[in-house]
Structure 1
């Protein structure tokens, strides 16, 4: 919540600085001073943005590889079913978000736009920091290395990528998260200097509200399916999961909410051996709420910024399929999922720095709601796996 407050403060400061320049104009001493200040903000944005985008391939490489390598073997069919159900849930959530957002977002954002450059002024210096590895090679390498490490149980390599994840997570938590408000302030100062920022901001609240409503709809879908399989009232199951939902709202962390999610899942009648396995695993791999937000907000951003066309179903399907993977083991810090997902948005949807900045601002503003949806949905996944495992055992007994 402190990050959200700082982010809002960065937006406000950026708007004030850029807005004053827009009102005063470049003429006179006051105009020259304001132009200097705005260019200072834009320069800060350029430098910080270069560092942020430099780290994205490392986030993808270490978090995906480490996350895949940590997936246990256990009972192969149950593990596979858990991974499959969690992934299908994430995929379904993304497709629902695309269907709703592609219809609603253009109407919400109609008439709202920002200049292609995002700023009326250039930075004092152009700071470039090329990434050591591009996003797509990092993604492919993470898949290959993670799967092989999991299959061969290469302890030394697993330790290397785990420690690489620790280093990357430290950089995110101690550096990137702390500079985000300044980066966002620079982005909004540049936009406010063009006089278009308020046209953009006025639709943000509606966009976030639509995303949150979709969270609740998807939870109802999840528990309707789960309740039908274990013969329980889905509304009663959802009511039992409310403590987990509100705990996640406060902590903004799936991992920190695991004890509550676990206890409430067992209250719904899910057997201990299933809940004890599924809930901790799904805290890492089940990200339906985050996917809904990223898909819906990305479409909103593409309708606001010039130069973007509405993505088609197949184009967006690829993005959703990748999102379900790149956010595996996303860092346990606010905004971690969007940092991991930004690589997919840049590679597959052509997002530039301004578009990613919008996404970061929108995502962090609702991060607690997305996390709450993720963890509450874990209880539904556990119910589906419980029904599957019981059926599996019954079939084995019948065959004997």
Structure 2
């Protein structure tokens, strides 16, 4: 419901932003920047909690199962990300880059600057959360589950009761900024075809994963996708992988006939195995960098970013736009994203969220099938 409200809000602003005085727009943009600073300050602590919970709360007592699951999730996310880089390179090669989009119009400047110090980095939070989570799940699964659940309960309370209500305000100022500077309209006019291609490439890859899981037997291939259609429709309409999880469990169980494995894999990977995020965030990142053309980045810069990008998948916040919110500090620190660039990728992510979420859900269904086949083969 909240995500739908945000999409409606963005649409209304696109229609009536010219009637809002510039000073009011600057005020709202300043508030959004302040909220962003608070988010970046708080996110490492949320990352620690979510990572500890996800790594300690795997519904299995088999350590080998946990290691295999984490390894295959990382491998799948890495493959999706590398393919996204390749697709992004092809898209940009065949697309005319907007020169210096940041100077399309006079910038809307904030009325004040508010910044909080960094207490702990995202990487430190990820590392500590993962290590403590794995230790707890291996040394004392029951106690680890209790601790993970309690910490998760506190984090979700903050996310749902404190963070979620201010997300529309957070988005509001950024959208006004993008509309005032004519960045959003320029991007959509120039890169609409690129976004369509990105959507096609993402779903084509997911489609191939289902083919691989079914040894490319056409009948089984189509049947497995058909079993996942309820989950796909739920993801499109709710824009939530968690809301679609019951349907994902049902569809994946039909596809594998392995209830025990599926009921361990899907809940554990629903928020960390994110094919849609991998494709869209990376391609959007490449498009925005090429459009703003503010910094010269080399392969090493992108390699470091990719490393932290993959680690961040273990700490996606369960709120609207959670996939991109966790990435804001990473984009700012390692790819030198300016406030305008962060505003743009946040807004584009929110607008494309139904497509991204549905790709995540369908990708999880394919992953569950492939993992089940691999696990059964190794177990033999």
TM-score over 0.5 for the alignment?
A: yes
When the two chains are superposed, the root-mean-square deviation of aligned CA atoms in Å is 3.3
CA contact (8 A) 1:114 1:197 kept: no
Residues 369-390 of structure 1: per-residue CA shift (max 9 Å, x gap):
2222222222322222332343
Aligned partner (choices 280, 283, 291) of residue 267 of structure 2: 280
Give distance in 2, aligned partners of 1:141 and 1:105: 38
The equivalent of 1:57 in structure 2 is 44
Give distance in 1, aligned partners of 2:79 and 2:203: 14
The equivalent of 2:101 in structure 1 is 114
TM-score under structure 1 normalisation?
0.81
Aligned partner (choices 358, 366, 379) of residue 344 of structure 2: 358
Match runs of 1:174-323 below 5 Å: 174-203=161-190, 205-228=192-215, 233-309=220-296, 312=299, 315-323=301-309
CA contact (8 A) 1:118 1:191 kept: no
Q: Give the match's secondary structure for 1:122.
A: coil
Question: Which sections of structure 2, spanning at least 5 residues, go unmatched?
Answer: none
Change (3 A) 1:46 1:273: closer
The equivalent of 2:32 in structure 1 is 45
The equivalent of 1:328 in structure 2 is 314
The equivalent of 1:128 in structure 2 is 115
Residues 265-320 of structure 1: per-residue CA shift (max 9 Å, x gap):
222243223222222222233211221111111112212224134553x5434433
Change (3 A) 1:164 1:74: closer
Change (3 A) 1:213 1:77: same
Give distance in 2, aligned partners of 1:106 and 1:305: 16
Deviates more, 1:300-309 or 1:193-202: 193-202
Give distance in 2, aligned partners of 1:109 and 1:130: 39
Structure ID, larger Rg: 1
Change (3 A) 1:270 1:180: same
1:258 to partner: Cα distance: 2.2
Q: Give the match's secondary structure for 2:337.
A: coil
Q: Give the match's secondary structure for 1:328.
A: helix
The equivalent of 1:390 in structure 2 is 376
Residues 201-220 of structure 1: per-residue CA shift (max 9 Å, x gap):
42464443233212211212
1:371 equivalent in alignment to 2:373 = no
CA contact (8 A) 2:227 2:254 kept: yes
CA contact (8 A) 1:119 1:194 kept: yes
Change (3 A) 1:202 1:152: same
The equivalent of 1:167 in structure 2 is 154
The equivalent of 1:69 in structure 2 is 56
Give the paired residue count: 380
The equivalent of 1:9 in structure 2 is 9
CA contact (8 A) 2:273 2:360 kept: yes
1:97 to partner: Cα distance: 0.8
Change (3 A) 1:132 1:165: farther
CA contact (8 A) 2:178 2:344 kept: no
1:138 to partner: Cα distance: 2.9
Match runs of 1:84-123 below 5 Å: 84-105=71-92, 107-108=94-95, 110-111=97-98, 113-115=100-102, 120-123=107-110
Question: Which sections of structure 1, spanning at least 5 residues, go unmatched?
Answer: 22-33, 395-400
1:174 to partner: Cα distance: 3.2
CA contact (8 A) 1:44 1:186 kept: yes
Change (3 A) 1:270 1:113: farther
CA contact (8 A) 1:279 1:382 kept: yes
Give distance in 2, aligned partners of 1:389 and 1:121: 54
Residues 129-175 of structure 1: per-residue CA shift (max 9 Å, x gap):
33332334333333443333334439778756654443333333334
Residues 65-119 of structure 1: per-residue CA shift (max 9 Å, x gap):
2222223553333333332222222111111111011221365462254337996
Q: Give the match's secondary structure for 2:215.
A: helix
CA contact (8 A) 2:228 2:251 kept: yes
